[in-house]
C-alpha cells in the first residue's frame, strides 16, 4: 500500500489481487464442513486515501481530533450522520467494554488506537521469575494461547496480530480509535477495549476462513467479550458457526454482523452468519451520505435489521496512516461502536436490551422500508438519550425482534406485535432530533 502523500487510488484490479481469497487454497482432504460452507472476508475496496492533518492544540471541545472533518458519518454534515457528538455528551464508552474484532489483524502500534487495545490480564505484569508475561513465551493464564496480550492470530496460530491487508485496522478504528488525543480521529466509542482476533491474512498460503472464524468466536466467548464485530460471511449455513454464536448468546455477547456485499436480497438468498436465527445478532447494511443503501450492499425487509454509514468511511490504516473504505463492514463497525456506548452507559443491560435499544431508537427513513426490517438508520444519541423510556425488561419480547430462520433451522416462535411500538418510538426519536436541530439552528 502506498504512503498517504501519494494520494493514490487503489484500483479494482489491485483490490482483487489482495482479495485472492476467492480461490481458497484447498487442503488435501477437506472436511465436509469446509466443502459445504465457506466464509468470504468482506475486504471492501479502498477508496481515496486522504492525507492526515496537523493536530490542533485546543482540546476544550468534545472530541476535537483534527481529521474528524473527514468522518461524514459522525460530524453532523449529512443526512446519514449518527449523532455521535450528542451521544458523547452522555457517554464516551468504557475500557471495561470489550469488543472482539474478528478480521485481518491490526496495527498494534498505530498511535490512534494502541491505547484502546484490550489487555489480557493473565498475560500482563511480571511472572514468578520477574519476566514480562507478555513476552515470556509462556501460557501464563492457562487458556491455551501463549502471550495473547491483545488477542490471537488464528491463521498462523500465534500472537502476531500484524495486519497485512488494512481492513482489520480500519474496522477497529471505526469502532474505537482513541478520542480527544489531539491526533487523527475518534472511533464511535472513544473509550473501549478492542480484542483483536485475526482470521484471514492475504499473505498466508492457506486460509481456513470458516474454521478460523469459529475459533475466533470461541476465543471471544471464553475471554470476556461483550460484543463481537464480524465482517465476513458466506451463503452456506454452518452448524459449527451457528453453535459458536449460540454459545455467544449464552455468554451474553452481542454479535454484530455485516449483511454482505453481494447486491442481493438476503430474504431470498441468506447470508451467514448475519442471517442465523439467533436473537443476539444484528445484521447491518450500508448507506451513503444521502441515507440510501449502497448498490453493492445486501438488503432484506426481514433479514437485515439496520443501516449505518458505509461509503467512503475514513479510518485508520496500518503504518500509522488513515484512509477510506466502503462496504457493509464499515457500517457494522458503527453499530458495534454504538453498542459499546450503550453497554457502558447501562451496566445492568444484557445483550437483548442493548440490541433492542439500538434497533428501536433508529431513525425511520422511507427509503429503508423495503431494505431493512425496521426501516431504520443508526442513531447513537437516541440509543443513549431515551433509555429511560425503555423498561428494564425491554420494550418487547425478544422473539418480536427476531427474523426469519434459515430453511434448515426450526423456526422460532415469532409475532408482529410490537411493530407499532417500534414506529411510535421512532417518531419520538425523530421529534427529539428535529428539536435538537431547531435549537442548534437558533444558536
User: Please, which residues bridge with residue 153 across strands?
Assistant: 158, 198
Q: Give the end-to-end CA distance of the chain in Å, rounded to a whole number.
A: 44
Cα–Cα distance, 200 to 40 (Å, whole number) = 9
DSSP state of 230: E
Max distance between CA atoms of the chain, in angstroms, equals: 69
Question: CA separation (Å) from 389 to 46, 108, 233, 428, 434?
Answer: 41, 40, 35, 10, 18
Report the relative pairing of strands 313-317 and 321-325 from DSSP bridges: antiparallel
Cell of 412: 422460532
Cα–Cα distance, 97 to 95 (Å, whole number) = 5
Cell of 48: 481515496
User: Please, which residues bridge with residue 285 across strands?
Assistant: 307
Three-point CA angle 335, 341, 345, nearest 5°: 145
Cell of 121: 490480564
Cα–Cα distance, 64 to 12 (Å, whole number) = 34
Cell of 220: 471471544
DSSP string for 33-56: HHHH---B---PPB-BPPPP-PPP
402 Cβ neighbours under 8 A, 6+ residues apart: 277, 279, 412, 414
| CA nearest to 173, candidates 121, 129, 131, 111 | 111
Active site residue 329: yes
Active site residue 380: no
- Residue 180 φ then ψ, to 5°: 60, 35
Active site residue 103: yes
Q: 376, 426 in Cβ contact below 8 A? A: yes
Residue of 110, 165, 167, 305 with catalytic role:
167
Helix (H) or strand (E) holding 401: none
Place of cell 430462520: 405
Strands, sheet with 376-377, edge to edge from the N-terminal-most edge strand: 151-153, 191-198, 93-103, 227-230, 254-258, 281-287, 306-309, 376-377, 363-364
Residue of 329, 362, 375, 380 with catalytic role:
329
Cα–Cα distance, 262 to 249 (Å, whole number) = 27
Catalytic residues: 103, 167, 329
Amino acid at each position: 500500500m502506498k504512503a498517504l502523500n501519494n494520494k493514490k487510488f487503489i484500483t479494482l484490479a489491485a483490490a482483487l489481487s489482495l482479495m485472492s481469497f476467492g480461490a481458497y487454497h484447498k487442503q488435501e482432504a477437506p472436511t465436509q464442513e469446509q466443502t459445504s460452507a465457506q466464509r468470504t472476508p468482506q475486504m471492501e475496496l479502498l477508496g481515496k486515501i486522504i492525507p492526515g492533518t496537523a493536530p490542533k492544540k485546543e482540546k476544550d471541545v468534545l472530541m476535537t481530533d483534527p481529521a474528524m472533518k473527514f468522518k461524514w458519518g459522525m460530524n453532523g454534515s449529512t443526512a446519514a450522520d449518527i449523532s455521535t457528538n450528542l451521544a458523547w455528551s452522555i457517554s464516551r464508552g468504557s475500557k471495561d467494554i470489550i469488543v472482539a474484532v474478528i478480521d485481518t489483524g491490526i496495527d498494534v502500534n498505530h498511535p490512534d488506537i494502541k491505547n484502546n487495545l484490550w489487555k489480557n490480564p493473565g498475560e500482563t505484569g511480571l511472572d514468578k521469575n520477574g519476566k514480562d508475561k507478555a513476552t515470556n513465551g509462556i501460557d501464563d493464564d492457562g487458556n491455551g494461547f501463549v502471550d495473547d496480550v491483545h488477542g490471537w492470530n488464528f491463521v498462523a496460530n500465534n500472537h502476531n496480530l500484524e495486519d497485512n491487508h488494512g481492513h482489520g485496522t480500519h474496522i477497529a478504528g471505526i469502532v474505537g480509535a482513541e478520542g480527544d488525543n489531539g491526533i487523527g480521529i475518534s472511533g464511535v466509542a472513544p473509550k473501549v477495549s478492542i480484542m483483536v482476533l485475526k482470521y484471514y491474512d492475504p499473505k498466508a498460503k492457506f486460509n481456513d476462513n470458516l474454521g478460523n472464524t469459529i475459533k475466533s468466536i470461541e476465543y471471544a466467548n471464553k475471554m470476556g467479550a461483550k460484543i463481537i464485530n464480524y465482517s465476513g460471511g458466506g451463503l452456506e449455513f454452518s452448524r459449527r458457526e451457528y453453535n459458536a454464536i449460540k454459545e455467544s448468546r449464552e455468554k451474553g455477547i452481542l454479535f454484530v454482523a455485516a449483511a454482505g456485499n453481494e447486491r442481493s436480497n438476503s430474504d431470498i438468498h441468506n447470508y451467514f452468519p448475519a442471517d442465523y436465527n439467533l436473537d443476539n445478532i444484528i445484521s447491518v447494511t450500508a448507506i451513503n451520505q444521502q441515507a440510501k443503501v449502497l448498490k453493492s450492499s445486501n438488503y432484506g425487509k426481514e433479514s437485515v435489521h439496520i443501516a449505518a454509514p458505509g461509503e467512503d468511511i475514513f479510518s485508520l490504516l496500518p503504518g500509522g496512516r488513515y484512509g477510506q473504505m466502503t462496504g457493509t463492514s464499515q457500517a457494522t463497525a458503527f453499530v458495534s461502536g454504538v453498542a459499546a456506548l450503550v453497554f457502558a452507559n447501562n451496566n445492568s443491560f444484557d445483550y437483548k436490551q442493548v440490541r433492542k435499544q439500538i434497533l428501536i431508537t433508529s431513525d425511520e427513513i422511507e427509503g429503508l422500508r423495503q431494505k431493512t426490517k425496521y426501516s431504520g438508520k443508526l442513531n447513537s444519541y437516541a440509543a443513549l438519550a431515551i433509555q429511560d423510556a425503555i423498561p428494564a425488561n425491554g420494550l418487547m419480547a425478544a422473539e418480536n425482534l427476531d427474523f426469519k430462520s434459515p430453511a434448515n433451522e426450526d423456526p422460532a416462535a415469532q409475532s408482529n406485535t410490537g411493530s407499532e411500538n417500534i414506529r411510535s418510538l421512532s417518531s419520538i426519536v425523530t421529534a427529539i432530533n428535529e428539536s435538537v436541530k431547531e435549537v442548534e439552528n437558533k444558536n
